[in-house]
């Protein structure tokens, strides 16, 4: 994952904090239960770090924990750091980019199928609505999500890339299910980007250049419906852009297999899929860059 909201290798710019925010974020304090402004708040969008502005959580991963604090099933890739408390019992979560205290992680409660709860202080968060001018969102599927993630993470303006599953009917799909072609999902990536540095069209063009959009229900050696090429759109503007780009490639003589479909709920994949090639220190085996525009 990229260094969200900051320049790579540089100390993140920190926002000025109030006395109460310092108590929670710097001194590892806790909000009063059921008093935080995001406890019962479920608008679509993203949650960022109050201290440095880094992206932390998606509203899609927020659920009613009935515990008095905002509850999330998961964070964005590499957004939080997990550290055991001194007593060895609880696991603290802090912002990866600035070290600000967020809360704790609890597991085994069976509140959701993932049975994981990020219990976060509202004081540590700032909400950005999904339709804000700050962040944009895109979902692309083009074969194995490891390769698409690898190239998208390197694109200017991209803040976060999450591998996962999209387009199917089942809830909480897993890798084994999708690889077996069950549930109708495809391997995909969800991208959050900075609207001031890039836009949907630039990312869609890149997507069509890092995989082979002429291959039907496959990508390289990976064969099956789950590896098909799809641009999922969130609004009419994204749909029109996707159709336009496909028509441009068709006019160049390419037999495009990529479909354009409305975005449904995106399900993040298992954590071990994140930053796959960077962790393995290898290159994608079925993706590469070919200039087409």
> How far is the C-alpha of 253 from the C-alpha of 255, rounded, in Å?
7
The CATH number, out of the four listed (3.30.1060.10, 3.40.50.880, 1.10.600.10, 3.40.720.10), of the domain defined by the range 135-280 = 3.30.1060.10
pLDDT reading at 5 higher than 50? no
Longest dimension (CA), the chain: 65
- By annotation, the residues acting in catalysis are 119, 144
pLDDT, one tens digit per residue, over 184-213 is 999 999 999 999 999 999 999 999 999 999
- Where does the chain show beta strands of DSSP type E? 45-49, 55-58, 62-63, 71-72, 80-84, 91-95, 101-107, 116-120, 125-129, 135-142, 158-166, 186-194, 218-219, 222-223, 229-233, 259-262, 267-268
Q: φ, ψ for residue 59 (rounded to 5)?
A: -65, -25
Residue range 27-55: mean pLDDT, rounded = 97
Closest CA to 191 of 247, 240, 142, 237: 142
Q: Scanning the structure block, which residue is given the tokens 């709920």?
A: 265
According to CATH, where is 3.30.1060.10 located in the chain?
Answer: 135-280
Angle (CA) 129 137 233, round 5°: 115
Write the CA distances from 261 to 17, 122, 187, 268, integer angstroms. 43, 35, 14, 19
pLDDT reading at 30 higher than 90? yes
Confidence of residue 12 (pLDDT cuts 50, 70, 90): confident
According to CATH, where is 2.170.150.20 located in the chain?
Answer: 19-129
Architecture category of domain 19-129 in CATH: Beta Complex (2.170)
pTM as predicted: 0.91
Residue range 82-104: mean pLDDT, rounded = 94
pLDDT, one tens digit per residue, over 43-71 is 999 999 999 999 999 999 999 999 999 99
Closest CA to 230 of 247, 217, 244, 249: 217
Count the alpha carbons within 13 Å of 32 in the hemisphere toward its beta carbon. 3
């Amino acid at each position: 994952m990229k260094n969200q909201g900051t320049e790579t290798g540089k100390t993140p710019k920190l926002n000025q904090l109030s006395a109460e925010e310092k108590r929670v974020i710097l001194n590892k304090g806790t909000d009063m239960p059921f008093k935080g402004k995001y406890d019962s708040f479920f608008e679509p969008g993203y949650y960022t770090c109050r201290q440095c502005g880094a992206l932390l959580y998606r509203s899609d991963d927020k659920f009613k924990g009935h515990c008095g604090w905002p509850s999330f099933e998961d964070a964005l890739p590499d957004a939080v750091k997990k550290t055991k408390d001194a007593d060895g019992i609880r696991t603290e979560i802090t912002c990866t980019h600035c070290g600000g205290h967020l809360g704790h992680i609890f597991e085994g409660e069976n509140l959701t199928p993932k049975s994981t709860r990020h219990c976060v202080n509202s004081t540590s968060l700032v909400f950005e609505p999904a339709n804000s001018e700050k962040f944009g969102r895109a979902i692309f599927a083009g074969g194995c999500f490891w390769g698409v993630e690898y190239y998208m993470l390197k694109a200017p303006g991209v803040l976060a890339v999450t591998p996962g599953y999209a387009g199917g009917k089942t809830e909480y799909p897993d890798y084994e299910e999708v690889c077996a072609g069950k549930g109708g999902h495809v391997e995909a990536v969800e991208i959050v980007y900075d609207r001031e540095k890039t836009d949907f069209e630039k990312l869609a063009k890149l997507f069509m250049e890092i995989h082979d959009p002429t291959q039907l229900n496959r990508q390289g050696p990976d064969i099956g419906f789950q590896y098909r090429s799809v641009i999922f759109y969130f609004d009419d503007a994204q749909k029109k852009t996707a159709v336009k780009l496909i028509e441009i490639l068709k006019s160049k003589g390419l037999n495009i297999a990529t479909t354009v479909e409305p975005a449904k709920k995106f399900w993040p994949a298992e954590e071990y899929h994140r930053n796959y090639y960077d962790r393995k220190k290898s290159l994608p085996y079925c993706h590469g860059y070919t200039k087409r525009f």
